Amino acid sequence: MTLAAGLTAAAFVTPAHAAELVMVDEKGCIYCEQWNAEIGPIYPKTAEGRFAPLRKIDIGDIDEAIELDRRVNFTPTFIVVEDEAELARIEGYPGPDFFWPLLDRMLRDVTDYAGEDG
């Protein structure tokens, strides 16, 4: 395979978006642990997880990691990021029955995410 053919093939498998979901957590956060138990194992297998892969950042490191709209005060905080800049966030973990619809709406509002139907 030539270099040009390889680059062309890579263009088809590379997503057109660069969104990711940043989870800001900290050691000892019981809500972070709850999210890790209830959502963490399945997140990468979901449409949301494929569209916006997860990156975890400790609350002490968040200011250097991405450009924030405002300070992170609570863990967990879930931030949709593109090009290292915040687009939207969910503060806290309200449980799976609320997390999934909130995340779906947030991704649809600030990215080109179309969910399972797109």
Reported as a single tens digit per residue, the pLDDT across 14-34 is 444 589 999 999 999 999 999
Q: What single-letter amino acid sits at 28?
A: G
Burial class (CB in 10 A: 0-12, 13-18, 19+), 36: middle
Q: Could you give all domains of the chain from N- to C-terminal order, each with its CATH number?
A: 17-92 (3.40.30.10)
Q: What is the per-residue pLDDT across 50-89, written as a single tens digit (0 to 9) for each?
A: 999 999 999 999 888 789 999 999 999 999 999 999 999 9
d(CA 65, CA 28): 21
Neighbours of 76 (CB within 10 A): 25
- Phi then psi for 5, rounded to 5 degrees? -65, -40
Judge whether residue 6 has pLDDT over 70. no
For residue 73, give every residue at least 6 positions away whose Cβ sits within 8 Å of its Cβ, in sequence order, or none: 91
